[in-house]
Amino acid sequence: MELDAFRSSVDRWLDEHAAALSPDHPGMGTLDQQMAQLAKVKRLAYDAGWMRWGWPERVGGLGGSTLLRAYLGEALTARDLVESGIYSLTEVLAPTMIDYAPPELAAAMVPRLLRGDETWCQGFSEPGTGSNLAALSCRATLTDDEWRITGQKVWTSLAQYADRCVLLTRTGAPESAHRGITAIFVDMASPGITVRPLETMHGGAEFSEVFFDDVAVPVDRTLGEVGRGWSVAMDILPFERSTALWHRGAFLNRRLEQLLAAAAAGALAPAEVGEVFQQLYALRARSRATQHRLAAGQRLGPETSVDKILLATAEQGLFDLVGAGLAQDVLVGDDVSSERWRAELLYSRAATIYGGSAEIQRNIVARRMLDLGADR
Ligand SMILES: Cc1cc2nc3c(=O)[nH]c(=O)nc-3n(C[C@H](O)[C@H](O)[C@H](O)COP(=O)(O)OP(=O)(O)OC[C@H]3O[C@@H](n4cnc5c(N)ncnc54)[C@H](O)[C@@H]3O)c2cc1C
């Protein structure tokens, strides 16, 4: 299907099914409510076919350009039907399964994620390993035909809801760095896994600590080659910084419009509004180019760090403006709208951390795009 036809058909379907798709809760809702809403919207959109466009037929998709799924996420976010961050985890994890899982496994699993029947999480970060991911130590040992996994992950988004995890493990010698890492697709219901949600300052428990105590995983759940998990990670991260950010940009644009409507006359400095508008425009222009490169079949790489820098700048710029323009409501109001602005303002601080911190993104741009040399 062509993009223009897809857009108008999706828009029409969203209009016609507005009542069935709307959240049952006021405002942004709790994380439990957001997850239930996400599952509902994905199921309806999958069963109507929309959620399948832009994905390969071998994993239950209907084919077509990746621009189709970029638009669907944009439309769902712009209409406030899904929270963009949790919606876009599909964009981060499904491409990896398609590229690296054994074909039968990808064919069995990806439709469950697309339809919202399952939630997956991304087990990369560890207590001692965030930016320096190559130092991770959660160990997997091969015995006969299964892995035995022992170790800990942290900041694992949605782990408490997840049915599966794309997990990075150490399978080589401790000093093997990025050469001794293997990616494994783990069932979160496996015996030996303990998930402890972590409360965040914005009031949700979006992520968790996850403990693995001699967890058995069949060897056919290996993603890619043993010892080559670094490539899996390097391919996931650009996805985390591409279509997901297009969706996030749609959310930010909508919130800027709502801020302009909600702020009292004179509460917002025109120069600051103009600056945020420019930041959002730069993000959208950059992310649009990334969507088109992805659609043209190009391999995404370190250049997506530019998208992530622009996203974090725009998100924090917008919510700085929220803090200034709606100060009273944001700081003390207890109505649904104020609570939402407040939670989003607090969450915006995470934009320079998740998906790789702002400093690390700038290091990537400096070293890998501008050839400015390594750390001293
Ligand atoms: C909302 C949220 C969701 C997340 N979800 C997930 C998830 O689902 N799965 C997952 O695996 N992880 C997740 N993370 C973790 C995230 O990827 C890490 O927090 C991030 O990579 C930074 O790692 P760290 O917290 O260990 O900080 P550190 O790596 O300890 O960094 C601390 C500070 O030092 C700076 N720094 C570190 N090294 C350098 C350097 N070489 N040069 C310059 N500055 C440096 C960093 O920029 C940062 O400011 C999430 C984080 C957040 C906030």
Q: Give me the residue label for tokens 């071998």.
A: 58
Q: How much is the pLDDT for 333?
A: 85
Catalytic residue among 206, 240, 303, 344: 240
- Cα separation, 348 vs 355, in Å, equals 13
CA of 38 from ligand 1 middle (Å) equals 26
The answer to whether 177 touches 135, Cβ cutoff 8 Å, is yes
CA of 131 from ligand 1 middle (Å) equals 5
Q: Which domains does the chain show, CATH number per domain?
A: 3-118 (1.10.540.10), 121-228 (2.40.110.10), 241-369 (1.20.140.10)
- Cα separation, 208 vs 353, in Å, equals 16
Dihedral angle sign, alpha carbons of residues 348, 230, 56, 90: negative
Length of the chain: 376
Active site residue 339: no
pTM: 0.95
Q: Is the CB of 160 under 6 A from ligand 1?
A: no
**Is 65 strand, coil or helix?**
coil
pLDDT by 10s per residue, the chain, length 376: 899 999 999 999 999 999 999 999 887 789 999 999 999 999 999 999 999 999 999 999 999 999 999 999 999 999 999 999 999 999 999 999 999 999 999 999 999 999 999 999 999 999 989 899 999 999 999 998 999 999 999 999 999 999 999 999 999 987 888 899 999 999 999 999 999 999 998 888 899 999 999 999 999 999 999 999 999 999 888 888 899 999 999 999 999 999 999 888 888 999 999 999 999 999 999 999 999 999 999 988 999 999 999 999 999 999 999 998 888 878 788 888 888 999 999 999 999 999 999 999 999 999 999 989 876 5
- Cα separation, 279 vs 284, in Å, equals 9
CA of 343 from ligand 1 middle (Å) equals 21
Q: How much is the pLDDT for 26?
A: 80
- Atom 51 of ligand 1, residue of closest alpha carbon: 354
